[in-house]
Amino acid sequence: MPGASGYQRASLGGALLLWAVLAQAERVAGVSPPLCPADRIDEQAQVASVTDGDTLRLSDGRKVRLIGINTPELAHDGRAAEPLAEEARLRLRRLVEASGHRIQLRLGEEPRDRYGRLLAHAFQADGDSIEALILREGLATRVAIPPNVWGLDCLSHAEDEARHAARGLWARPGYRTPISTRDLPDEAQGYMLLQGRVERVGGSRHAQWINLEGGVALKIEHDQLPLFRELDIHQLVGHRIEARGWLTRPGGRDPRIRLTHPSMLRVLD
């Protein structure tokens, strides 16, 4: 007689098989194919609550940070909410509700972040990627943090659709036209899109640096340089580029963004 864990595995396997059969039946019936479908499903989960536009809590207490997107920050620590933060949270909540609070999870190659949150892609019962739906509506921007870059191309297409249609964030200043590094406010920090001309490229002991006009630097750590092998960063000097990521000012020094993946940088001219 199998133990409890055996029954759990059998139950999960049976449920996943049923889900796959139903999804295939919908495809045959002429229903449009799912948006950015998963290559695999690792588990099904019950959602207890939605924290913000890219984070939710499961019924077993685990927190899930959705891979591949970043949504505006809600108000916290005395700071006002960023534009469309509440709309992003409400949209995620409605997507979860539309799926009966049951979602499918594809875990990241790196399954947890430094805060202990589960890193995963989430899918509705019909196979649609929840992240892609939020991106397509312009309520998030696409991010890529290796090794969790599965599905990046499809998520990028979803963002491009929203950007070209000027939906949500892409109709707002700072997104429609990213902030110029020459006009960056002294107090600016956190996630943002920037644009500026490259003045010089240099190296240090642990990183390569792309220095932009206005004193902003983009940092590529040496262990991530192989990801950028198709981009000759030294040829960027004189070109105007767009970069996205989390702006910091460590120790009061000049502002910088750590580039984690080539898709976080775009050459504009």
CA distances from 45 to 56, 105, 152, 243 (A): 11, 7, 23, 35
Do 153 and 186 have their domain in common? no
The per-residue pLDDT for range 118-161, each reduced to its tens digit, is 999 999 999 999 999 999 999 999 999 999 999 999 999 999 99
| pTM for this entry | 0.85
- Number of structural domains (the chain) is 2
| Domain membership flag for residue 3 | no
| Domain membership flag for residue 127 | yes
Do 156 and 257 have their domain in common? no
The per-residue pLDDT for range 27-57, each reduced to its tens digit, is 445 568 999 999 999 999 999 999 999 999 9
CA angle 202, 207, 209 (to 5 degrees): 35
Q: Which domain holds residue 204?
A: 179-267
Do 122 and 205 have their domain in common? no
Do 164 and 200 have their domain in common? no
What is the predicted pLDDT for the residue at 252?
A: 81
> 249, 54, 225, 243: which is closest to 155 by C-alpha?
54
| Domain membership flag for residue 16 | no
Which residue's entry shows tokens 């059998």?
A: 10
What CATH number does the domain containing 234 carry?
2.40.50.140
